[in-house]
Amino acid sequence: MEDAELKSALEALLFITDRPLTVKELCSLTQVKDAALVESLVGELKRELEARSSAVQVMEVAQGYQMATRAHFAPFVRRLFTERMTLKLSTASLETLAIVAYKQPLTRAEIEQVRGVEVIAALETLMERGLVQVVGRKETVGRPLEYGTTPDFMRRFGLRDIKDLPALESFSTKPESANALAEGGSDARPPVSSHSDPSQEGTVPQSGTTAPVLDAPAEPVAEPSSGGGDEPRPVIWPDSQDEDTSSR
């Protein structure tokens, strides 16, 4: 297969996929053994789209590649999908997600130690939404389950790796809050964005086909319900999941 044809095939795969594809998967799908060539052509495709200011881009996310709409065009896509663009999570679920993201792997008891309240309902919601999963068991008495984030969590928040999460200090209104979360103190609280209202429910990018993702890592915290003067967020294509409107 000629390089030009291979690059077109890669473009088609990255456009149609509903999840990030690794270089290994791209090699298998195109029946090409040269992984370096495949990665090089994906890079070329990415630069070509950027050079002509295309509405779509190639993103490296969740240790793979996927095509996505650019953040600038989010308002137009939102008009097409209206209310199905995001799935809502309660403040309790968002706080629990933040703890899991920054402290993983950790047990339910350890999460509750940080939050100060029980998290059974919040964990169930996050697992149903595909954001949190069981990643193993802790080698201690009773061998309790340990929880961590999923690849879909990284995809929705535009992260190549969990290490790409923003520093706690970058969005905590109180430095001691970030320190408490990092240390896992018993009365620590997860960070909340300074422009958030704790009484509001937050939103998380929805998953679906050819899912656009973030240009930069997103903060897993509650967002304001109205746009105001904020920059438009990249749009995540919808799926059929119901919104979580419960206050857990």
Same domain membership, residue 197 and residue 122: yes
CATH code assigned at 168: 1.10.10.10
Q: Are 168 and 158 in contact (CB under 8 A)?
A: no
Give the pLDDT of residue 225.
Answer: 39
Burial of 82 (0-12, 13-18, 19+ CB in 10 A): exposed
Give the pLDDT of residue 86.
Answer: 63
pTM of the entire structure?
0.51
Answer yes or no: is pLDDT of 248 > 80. Answer: no
pLDDT digits (tens, 9 = 90+) for 10-69: 999 999 998 899 999 999 999 999 999 999 999 999 999 999 999 999 999 888 999 999
Instruction: Catalogue the long-range contacts made by 224-229 (C-beta closer than 8 Å, 24 or more residues apart).
Output: 224/195, 224/196, 224/197, 224/200, 225/200, 225/201
Which range of residues forms the domain containing residue 26?
Answer: 3-54
Domain-located, residue 60? no
Q: Strand, coil or helix: what is 149?
A: strand
Question: What's the structural domain count of the chain?
Answer: 2
Same domain membership, residue 24 and residue 141: no
Same domain membership, residue 41 and residue 133: no
Domain-located, residue 65? no
Residues 6+ apart with CB under 8 A from 128: none
Domain-located, residue 59? no
Domain-located, residue 66? no
Mean of the pLDDT values across residues 222-247? 40
Same domain membership, residue 239 and residue 122: yes
Domain-located, residue 155? yes
Same domain membership, residue 120 and residue 39: no
- How many other CB atoms are found less than 10 A from the CB of residue 198? 11
